[in-house]
Amino acid sequence: MFVKSSALDFWHRSDNLLCMTASRTARERVRAELTREITDIARRQLATEGAGGLSLRAVAREMGMVSSAIYRYFPSRDDLLTALIVDGYNALGEAVEQADSACPRHDFSGRWLAACHAVREWAVTHPHEYALIYGSPVPGYQAPQDTIPARVRDVAAYGRIVSDAWEAGAIAPPSGEGPEGLEPDAGSFRELMPGVPDAVIWQAVSAWTALYGWVSFEVFGQFNNVIENRRTTFEHAMRLAAATMGLAQ
Amino acid sequence: MFVKSSALDFWHRSDNLLCMTASRTARERVRAELTREITDIARRQLATEGAGGLSLRAVAREMGMVSSAIYRYFPSRDDLLTALIVDGYNALGEAVEQADSACPRHDFSGRWLAACHAVREWAVTHPHEYALIYGSPVPGYQAPQDTIPARVRDVAAYGRIVSDAWEAGAIAPPSGEGPEGLEPDAGSFRELMPGVPDAVIWQAVSAWTALYGWVSFEVFGQFNNVIENRRTTFEHAMRLAAATMGLAQ
DNA sequence: CGCTTACGAGAGCAATGCTCTCTCAAGAGA
DNA sequence: TCTCTTGAGAGAGCATTGCTCTCGTAAGCG
């Protein structure tokens, strides 16, 4: 346990250092490089075999190392998985952010649809990585705290869209009152959608779950032999979700 | 491959025979009993360890058998998983059917909410079984064709609610036109919602994905440390989904 | 230049899914 | 009632996995 986290911390530290300065010693540079090579091979394995087929020994074999050497870089298989999960969160979050920022800032409906398409397209092109971060949790695996910043990148992007739309008056105020007694639960979302009233927050959360519900259904095969024209169907569903949110079309 | 499916067919056959007649020979009876005991132990293992921790050897150990003996009953671990998946589909479908039938037939909103709560409650009390049937597909596993009838029990129950509501005029006709070019894709759903126009079908499908999106988020831990009062939040989201469907509150 | 320290190799342990063979007893047919 | 087929369990074994431990070695720092 102690060894695990410290070694993983080292990995993060060296990774950060690599980004900021141009790496320190040559030793740390080669370490960072090998670490990166391990995650690359692991990601390729993940893409072809899925999370269950990710094997430390196979990664070592492909690198020409003996299996025990991998443990110098990742103290356990779970830690390697964690690295891949963080990468996945970042890749998905970046895809959403890019799609959002490519739209005119005041075309809120367009931004919402672009973000939806971004997550769907990333998910269908990286099904196993998507499964890793939005599918059934891998048994015995508990996400470390330091995955949280990467984890909320995509939902933060959605929050900005909703927040901007509300501020601009593009979201119709909800007809009825918001739900009773959910004020504490709205807390986490208020930070992501500053200034948005609770009733709208819950509408946005509903749209958010509808989005990932649809994508999960598609990626996990529930639409096999059922829906073929998935992009169009998806867009229609996301327009309905936008209407649920109160977002003007 | 050949041996696999034939042996599995035998399992299904003996199971069916057990249901119809009171079993034939004593040999088949004890076989059916042991098969049931295996699945029971496996389901308990699944509940505590998750799909990844399901071990044929552990099941055999708990039964006092040697591991190779299990293969007389299930030719592979995947076949045991298939049996559990079919059981899971049936359990979930039955929960939804019961919740639906306990409501007044013309209280469509109540039926929808009851069905939603049924699937959510079954999912949170059987998280690993839910993950098995609605989570990331287990790697290398391909659902056999004979799982389909059990698989559609829950969505068929939803289809009946929508169909009944539409027939009774409780669903507002959609304001705009339905999506273009999706007529072929609506086919599978038309069987489940006879008489319902395509535009309403897609609204219902959206509500359906929103339901499972929410439940998956909760079961897979995305709401941990975010939403505490989950039942209330869920019900509110499902009311919004009903509104998306056009179902009068 | 010498010492520390990180790194890779290799053997080994427990566990897994699955196969093969062997034995034995229950059931079916005469 | 006797025989023979067939199904079931035992046991050894194979390849694979994650992970640990020890040991030599070479790189880098003081």
Q: Residue B21 pLDDT more than 90? A: no
Residues A156, A176: Cα–Cα separation, whole Å: 26
CA distances from B74 to B2, B45, B71, B178 (A): 13, 16, 5, 47
A230 burial via Cβ count (<10 Å: 0-12, 13-18, 19+):
middle
Reported as a single tens digit per residue, the pLDDT across A137-182 is: 876 667 777 788 899 999 999 999 999 999 999 999 887 667 788 8
For the residues B116-129, what does the mean pLDDT come to? 97
For the residues B192-199, what does the mean pLDDT come to? 94
Residue B175 pLDDT grade (very low, low, confident, very high; cuts 50, 70, 90): confident
Q: What is the three-state SS of B115-169? A: HHHHHHHHHHHCHHHHHHHHCCCCCCCCCCHHHHHHHCHHHHHHHHHHHHHHHCC
pLDDT at B139: 66
**Ranges A20-24, A165-169, B82-86: which has the least confidence:** A20-24
Half-sphere exposure of B95 (CA within 13 A, CB side): 18
**Cβ B66 to strand D below 7 Å:** yes
**Residue with the larger pLDDT of the pair A24 and A53:** A53
Q: Which of B227, B228, B222 is nearest to A152 (CA)?
A: B222
**Cβ B21 to strand C below 7 Å:** no
> Nearest CB to A213: which of B210, B221, B225?
B210
**Cβ A188 to strand D below 7 Å:** no
- 173-232 in chain B: CB under 8 A from chain A: 179, 181-182, 184-185, 188-189, 202-203, 205-206, 209-214, 216-217, 220-222, 225-229, 232
Q: Residue B1 pLDDT more than 60? A: no
By C1' distance from the Cα of B69, the closest nucleotide is D9
Nucleotides of chain C in contact with protein CB (under 7 A) are: 6-12, 15-21, 26-28
What pTM, to 2 d.p., does this model score?
A: 0.90
Contact between chains at A241 and B244 (C-beta distance less than 8 A) = yes
> Nearest CB to A185: which of B202, B217, B228?
B228
| H/E stretch holding A219 | helix A198-219
How far does A75 lie from chain B, in Å, by closest CA? 21
Q: Residue A14 pLDDT more than 60? A: no
pLDDT at B2: 31
Reported as a single tens digit per residue, the pLDDT across A37-81 is: 999 999 999 998 888 889 999 999 999 999 999 999 999 999 999
Share of chain A above pLDDT 90, in %: 72
pLDDT at A32: 92
Chain B contact probe: residue of A136, A171, A239 with most B CBs at under 10 A: A136
Query: What is the torsion angle, in degrees rounded to the nearest 10, for the CA atoms of residue A243, residue A245, residue A247 and residue A249?
Result: -20
For the residues A189-217, what does the mean pLDDT come to? 95
By C1' distance from the Cα of B64, the closest nucleotide is D9
List chain B residues with CB under 8 Å of A220. Answer: 134-137
pLDDT at A226: 92
DSSP A178: P
Residue A183 pLDDT grade (very low, low, confident, very high; cuts 50, 70, 90): confident
Reported as a single tens digit per residue, the pLDDT across B152-172 is: 999 999 999 999 999 999 999
Q: Residue A24 pLDDT more than 70? A: no
Nearest residue, CA→C1' of C19: B68
Q: Residue A10 pLDDT more than 50? A: no
Quick check: A161 and A107 in contact, CB under 8 A? no
**Cβ B209 to strand C below 7 Å:** no
Reported as a single tens digit per residue, the pLDDT across B23-40 is: 467 788 899 999 999 999
For the residues A89-97, what does the mean pLDDT come to? 97
Contact between chains at B188 and A226 (C-beta distance less than 8 A) = yes
Chain A contact probe: residue of B171, B200, B206 with most A CBs at under 10 A: B206
pLDDT at A27: 81
**Cβ A143 to strand C below 7 Å:** no
pLDDT at A13: 38
Residues 81-140, chain B: which have Cβ under 7 A from strand C? none
Phi (first) and psi of residue B247, to 5 degrees: -80, 125
Contact between chains at A220 and B136 (C-beta distance less than 8 A) = yes
For the residues B84-92, what does the mean pLDDT come to? 95
> Nearest CB to A212: which of B138, B217, B225?
B217
For the residues A215-230, what does the mean pLDDT come to? 94
Residue B148 pLDDT grade (very low, low, confident, very high; cuts 50, 70, 90): confident
